[in-house]
Structure 1
Amino acid sequence: MMAEKQNVFEELLMLKENSYSPYSNFKVACLIYLKNNDQVKGVNVENAAYPAGICAERTALAQVYSLGYKKHDIKSLELYTDSETLGSPCGVCRQVISELVDWSTPISIYNKNGFQLETNIKKLLPHAFQPAQLSK
């Protein structure tokens, strides 16, 4: 694994410990690197009322926008899932990413074994529902 990806992986492993996942015991962590070298963190937060939980990707993206950043400020999205196989964003997260992140922004996916895949939202959700489709 490249040194940079190894460093990100180690950060994600530490961050995943902040996950609140007492029901699934499936920890997810997301780091969003900004072009100004800041980073925004997110973890999954579950709730006994399952639909009330929120995924790590949406936690991090909500913070990005809350801090006043926009899609053009995002350098990369790094995602860790507590899995032995390739984990990837759920459908809801893919839709949110498609609207809040530039389509060419790199998305790196990691699991328990380290870096697995670099992709982007265009590849993960090629036929996303777009704001323009709301036009009458």
Structure 2
Amino acid sequence: MDSNQMIFEELLKLKENSYSPYSNFKVACLIYLQDGQVIKGINVENASYPATICAERTALSQVYALGYKKADIKSLELYTDSEILGSPCGVCRQFISELIDWSTPISIYSKKGFQIKTNIKELLPYAFEPEQILK
């Protein structure tokens, strides 16, 4: 079994932890760290939709809460319950753009398995960056 298939199998298990009673659209995220740790995230919905948190933000928040930084992130692996390519929402793209290196590989999986390997620079080419507001 190749590494993409192993990651896909892990994402399929993790997606079952998703709390998505409204959309039934499960999302799972694995962040592989340079030291071998794997941080997990799932989407958690809320009846008040703005209170919903996406899997990517769940996982990245844990990375930083555990004391890791951008340089510690090896890759971000994302699964969505889509039949076709499902990618991070706009809020997640912005969130990711600030918290990982722009060259960090991002792999996206759908119900069919591995779909694409990209990075945040390709997903959000004109990101709003801290330098635009910091003096």
Smaller-chain TM-score bracket: over 0.9
Q: Distance in 1 between matches of 2:56 and 2:134?
A: 27
Could you tell me how far 1:26 is from its partner in structure 2? 0.0
1:24-39 counterparts in 2 under 5 A? 24-39=23-38
The runs of at least 4 consecutive aligned structure 1 residues that moved more than 2 Å come to none
1:88-103 counterparts in 2 under 5 A? 88-103=87-102
| Correspondence 1:109 to 2:108 | yes
Q: Distance in 2 between matches of 1:20 and 1:38?
A: 24
Equivalent residue number for residue 75 of structure 1: 74
TM-score by length of 1: 0.98
Q: Distance in 2 between matches of 1:61 and 1:135?
A: 23
Equivalent residue number for residue 122 of structure 1: 121
Equivalent residue number for residue 132 of structure 2: 133
Give the count of matched residue pairs: 135
Q: Distance in 2 between matches of 1:85 and 1:61?
A: 24
Could you tell me how far 1:95 is from its partner in structure 2? 0.2
Which residues of structure 1 form unaligned runs of 5+? none
The percentage of aligned residue pairs carrying the same residue is 77
Equivalent residue number for residue 20 of structure 1: 19
Q: Distance in 1 between matches of 2:67 and 2:125?
A: 28
